[in-house]
């Protein structure tokens, strides 16, 4: 079976409480051999870590989501560095800027973002970015910080404009395709992805949100990354197996810690 990775999901969310093991098993049946589950509030890191520890195919990342930045204690670089020492902790975030829902907390979001960037620099782990309605500030901060010291990054669930996509790609960052790219009205977004180098593309679900057709409107889950990957293959003019192989190479290049991990015997 062709292998793919769901590079961003939220397995700790209550949507999965009743059947988390079954959800992970269905992912494997669909060819989704690995998942990165994302902690969005650092106080929840122990429970997210426990999911990764209990399931071989699951890795995790942690950060403070920008929409929660004003509600949570400000993250500390050393705290993130300490968490990163866990063998299945593979990324910093998600962090970023969201001015669509939480523009009133823009200042604290920007401060939080820069803290996470410094943690990505110190750990060598990829930064996981959420960006909504903040393209100009996002491009500026990512560029300023990269000039101050290089780091790796993925623009998760990318659905912003072409200018931010180009800015991220010029910094050597990656763009991640979610179920949004499979929506019928997302032709403009697919064009942005089609113009990007295939070497910078990942696949994700952002489950339980944003289920792709034919499951749109229902709870999303990691198995459905296969539907997004199929649409991605069409976008890049590749067969499914070739697209899956390329995105797997990309994931392993960016998330090298996950690629190197082996289950203890």
**CATH number of the structural domain spanning residue 211:** 3.20.20.140
Range of the domain at 179: 4-260
Is 116 known to sit in a ligand binding site? Answer: no
Instruction: Decide if 169 is inside a domain.
Output: yes
Give the pLDDT confidence score for residue 264 in this predicted structure. Answer: 82
Instruction: Decide if 223 is inside a domain.
Output: yes
Is 156 known to sit in a ligand binding site? Answer: yes
What residues contact residue 147 under an 8 Å CB cut-off, 6+ apart? none
pLDDT tens for the chain, 265 residues: list them: 799 999 999 999 999 999 999 999 999 999 999 999 999 999 999 999 999 999 999 999 999 999 999 999 999 999 999 999 999 999 999 999 999 999 999 999 999 999 999 999 999 999 999 999 999 999 999 999 999 999 999 999 999 999 999 999 999 999 999 999 999 999 999 999 999 999 999 999 999 999 999 999 999 999 999 999 999 999 999 999 999 999 999 999 999 999 999 988 7
Instruction: Decide if 236 is inside a domain.
Output: yes
Instruction: Decide if 98 is inside a domain.
Output: yes
Instruction: Decide if 134 is inside a domain.
Output: yes
pTM comes to 0.97
CA atoms within 13 A on the CB side of 192: 22
Structural domain tally of the chain?
Answer: 1
Instruction: Decide if 86 is inside a domain.
Output: yes
Instruction: Decide if 265 is inside a domain.
Output: no
In angstroms, the CA 155 to CA 13 distance is 21
Give the pLDDT confidence score for residue 263 in this predicted structure. Answer: 82
Is 144 known to sit in a ligand binding site? Answer: no
Instruction: Decide if 27 is inside a domain.
Output: yes
Number of H helices, E strands in the chain: 10, 8
Is 137 known to sit in a ligand binding site? Answer: no
Give the pLDDT confidence score for residue 171 in this predicted structure. Answer: 98
Give the pLDDT confidence score for residue 265 in this predicted structure. Answer: 76
């Amino acid at each position: 079976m062709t292998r793919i990775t769901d590079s961003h999901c939220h397995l700790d969310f209550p949507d999965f409480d009743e059947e988390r093991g079954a959800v992970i098993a269905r992912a494997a049946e669909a060819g989704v051999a690995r998942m990165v589950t994302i902690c969005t509030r650092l106080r929840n890191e122990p429970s997210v870590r426990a999911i990764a520890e209990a399931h071989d195919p699951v890795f995790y990342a942690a950060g403070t989501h920008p929409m929660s930045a004003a509600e949570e204690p400000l993250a500390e670089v050393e705290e993130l560095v300490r968490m990163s020492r866990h063998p299945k902790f593979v990324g910093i975030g998600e962090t970023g800027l969201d001015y669509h829902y939480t523009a009133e907390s823009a200042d604290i979001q920007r401060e939080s973002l820069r803290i996470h960037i410094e943690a990505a620099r110190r750990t060598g782990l990829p930064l996981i970015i959420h960006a909504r309605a903040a393209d100009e500030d996002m491009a500026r901060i990512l560029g300023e910080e990269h000039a101050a010291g290089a780091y790796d990054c993925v623009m998760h669930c990318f659905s912003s404009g072409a200018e931010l996509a180009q800015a991220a790609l010029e910094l050597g960052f990656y763009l991640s395709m979610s179920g949004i790219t499979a929506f019928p009205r997302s032709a403009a977004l697919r064009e942005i992805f089609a113009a990007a180098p295939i070497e910078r593309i990942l696949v994700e679900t952002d489950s339980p949100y944003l289920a792709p057709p034919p499951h749109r409107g229902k709870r999303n889950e990691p198995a459905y990354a296969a539907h997004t990957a199929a649409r991605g293959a069409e976008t890049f003019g590749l067969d499914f197996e070739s697209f899956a192989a390329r995105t797997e190479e990309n994931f392993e290049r960016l998330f090298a810690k996950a690629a190197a991990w082996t289950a203890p015997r």
